[in-house]
Amino acid sequence: MQKKIILFLMASLLFALPMFISPFPKAEAANITTTPFVAVFSDFDSSLWEKADWSNGSVFNCVWKPSQVTFSNGKMVLNLDKEYGGTYPYKSGEYRTKSFFGYGYYEVRMKAAKNTGIVSSFFTYTGPSDNNPWDEIDIEILGKNTTQVQFNWYKDGNGGNEYYHNLGFDASQDFHTYGFEWRQNYIDFYVDGKKVYRGTRNIPVTPSKIMMNLWPGIGVDGWLGAYDGKTPLKAEYEYVKYYPDGVPQGTPTPTPTPKHTATPSNTPTPTKGSSILKGDVNGDGKVNSTDYSIYKRYLLKIIDKFPVDDLRVTDLNNDGKIGSTDLTILKRYLLQIIPNL
């Protein structure tokens, strides 16, 4: 009888184990973002982002320090500088999301650093530190030639997918948009709203974090060129966007216009072929609570501009300015008190 009881208890325990022991990636499922995500870099949002405070080793000849991620004039800045008295000769910044993201369209607006031996990047990554396989999708601008961008990706640590695209401009001279649409069977890469390359082999599958970093290489002179130790250097970022359903309205963020001077008119010149959706301040093709949240952040001066910086979209009462009245109108619309904006 005692033997039967012991066998019964053992069987019960084995049956119950799956209820208590689950792989770490499944535990992270609650931390996977499945809705549109737009981050405008007016300040450090510690609820969504983290500043790296460690070192990667390997080809990275720097330590990541939170002090090297700064915010100025609506931009997030990664700063590469000398490190004194530490294990590494240089310190720099890495900025990454706390949550994970899966298939969808990713976009950044950035200006790269220029100097032989360094990399300015925008990428998705997960790996052993997340108890996941090493999956990664890269957009990298090598400082030795900022008229090119390198695309690459890894699935379970297997890469070898490098592709160089000639930009037709110097990525260190002005801000441009770079993006990729990640799907089960392909990755499409974009520059300034134009699809420039598709990869179809060995596509990653694991939800990953969005990351940006600036770093000097060591032992990879054949790839990056020899770093001459020049500091300080910086890479600048204006925003990051993610749309799980793909490129919004079938078109990525339009090509940025050249720098402009102030004009008397507050109404921008319409872009040929563009469509205006009143209240869609994050550019995802719909008006919802996300737009309402962005309005509130703007009025509270948490951010200093909208992702879609166009008065035809943001000025809901057409008085030439953005104020609490616009927020009230949007709220009434979302509550279906008024039929349209």
What is the DSSP secondary-structure string of 136-158? EEEEEEETT-TTEEEEEEEBTTB
Q: Does the pLDDT at position 271 exceed 80?
A: no
**CB burial readout 276-306, b (16+ within 10 A) else e:** ebbbbbbbbbebeebbbebbebbeeeebeeb
Integer Cα distance of 183 and 190 in angstroms: 14
| 3-class DSSP state of 306 | coil
Which CATH code fits 273-340? Answer: 1.10.1330.10
Higher pLDDT, 22 or 4: 4
Q: What is the DSSP string of 21-87?
A: ---HHHHGGGGEE-S-EEEE-SS--TTTEEE--S---TTB-SEE-GGGEEEETTEEEEEEEE-SSSS
Confidence label for 20 from pLDDT (cuts 50, 70 and 90): very low
Task: With beta carbons less than 8 A apart as the criterion, state whether 60 and 217 touch.
Answer: yes
- 32-33 and 100-101 strand pairing: parallel
Q: Does the pLDDT at position 55 exceed 60?
A: yes
The tokens describing 26, both together, are 């499944």
Check if 238 is active-site.
no
CATH fold match for the domains 30-241 and 273-340: no
When mean pLDDT is compared across 42-51, 293-302, 322-331, the lowest value belongs to 293-302
Q: What is the mean pLDDT of residues 255-262?
A: 40
- Per DSSP, 315 falls in state -
- Domain covering 30-241, topology: Jelly Rolls (2.60.120)
Q: Does the pLDDT at position 261 exceed 70?
A: no
Integer Cα distance of 204 and 185 in angstroms: 9
Per-residue pLDDT tens digits for 126-168: 999 899 999 999 999 999 999 999 999 999 999 999 999 999 9
Task: With beta carbons less than 8 A apart as the criterion, state whether 59 and 218 touch.
Answer: yes
**Which one from 107, 136, 181, 236 is the annotated catalytic residue?**
136
The tokens describing 161, both together, are 């997918």
Per-residue pLDDT tens digits for 205-246: 999 999 999 999 999 999 999 999 999 999 999 999 999 999
The tokens describing 165, both together, are 């695209």
Confidence label for 89 from pLDDT (cuts 50, 70 and 90): very high
Integer Cα distance of 271 and 254 in angstroms: 9
Half-sphere exposure of 112 (CA within 13 A, CB side): 29
The tokens describing 117, both together, are 């031996």
Q: What is the mean pLDDT of residues 169-184?
A: 98
Q: What is the mean pLDDT of residues 48-58?
A: 96
Task: With beta carbons less than 8 A apart as the criterion, state whether 196 and 189 touch.
Answer: yes
Half-sphere exposure of 260 (CA within 13 A, CB side): 9
Q: Does the pLDDT at position 22 exceed 60?
A: no
Q: Does the pLDDT at position 15 exceed 80?
A: no
What's residue 335's pLDDT?
Answer: 76
What's residue 190's pLDDT?
Answer: 98
- One-letter amino acid at 265 equals S
Q: Does the pLDDT at position 263 exceed 90?
A: no
Which residue ranges make up each domain of the chain?
Answer: 30-241, 273-340
**Which one from 140, 181, 236, 238 is the annotated catalytic residue?**
140
Omega before 232 within 30 of 0, i.e. cis: yes
Check if 28 is active-site.
no
